[in-house]
Chain A
């Protein structure tokens, strides 16, 4: 089956530093990947849609300069949290849909990255 990995699985950083999270589709190509954020005991909230070879599309209220997204290849998207602060602490989950398929295909989710900012 289609597998999506995320690295790291968890990270602790100091306030003011930047953290990069990788999302990889291991056995399929993904033109589009999605980044979600999940607070404890809450649902997933879409942050942005990552498009290979073009700029990401951010949801309303998500700062694009703070959450930098790069989709350099058909199997890799990265989310960089710049100048992280404690309120950025959250569970970040990416997902991907195989390229060349209709929109009816399910998205495959990564295992998530837990970010804790001290």
Chain B
């Protein structure tokens, strides 16, 4: 079974500083990895995904994530945080195509708080 771990319940960072939100995963085979952001009482918004290719993936709103196969990690990063980035961030994994399972497995979420 696949799983995702987000070890930090909350990350605090000052505006303008770089931010990192951690994610590690466990899945058989090559994973499909995703990051989503959720604002209060809203659904999830897609940020970025890793399927194959370059380990550094660039996404929406200046976010990027680095896929590290040896460490089974997919940490979300941004060089300079904005107050408006404050939200709940979810890492998710989808099993490889040959499993036939298309649903996502989500991590527990990390609340990002960016202080002015």
Cβ of A44 within 8 Å of any chain B Cβ, yes or no, is yes
In whole Å, how far is B23's beta carbon from the nearest beta carbon of chain A? 12
Count A interface residues, CB 8 Å. Answer: 25
- Say whether chain B's binding surface is mostly helix, strand, loop, or mixed: strand
Cβ of B104 within 8 Å of any chain A Cβ, yes or no, is yes
Residues facing A in B1-54 (CB within 8 A) are 32, 34, 36, 41-46, 49, 51
Q: Which of A44, A46, A93, A107 has the most CB of B within 10 A?
A: A44
Q: Residue of A at shortest CB range from B107? A: A43
Q: Is the CB of B41 within 8 A of A114?
A: yes
In Å, the complex CA distance between A49 and B36 comes to: 20
Q: Is the CB of A49 within 8 A of B103?
A: yes
Q: Which residues of B contact A43 (CB under 8 A)?
A: 90, 106-109
Q: Which of A13-21, A74-82, A96-104 contacts B (4 or more CB under 8 A)?
A: A96-104
In whole Å, how far is A21's beta carbon from the nearest beta carbon of chain B? 13
Contact status of A109 and B32, CB under 8 A, knowing A44-B90, A93-B43:
no
Name the one of A46, A104, A112 contacting B103, with C-beta atoms under 8 angstroms. A46
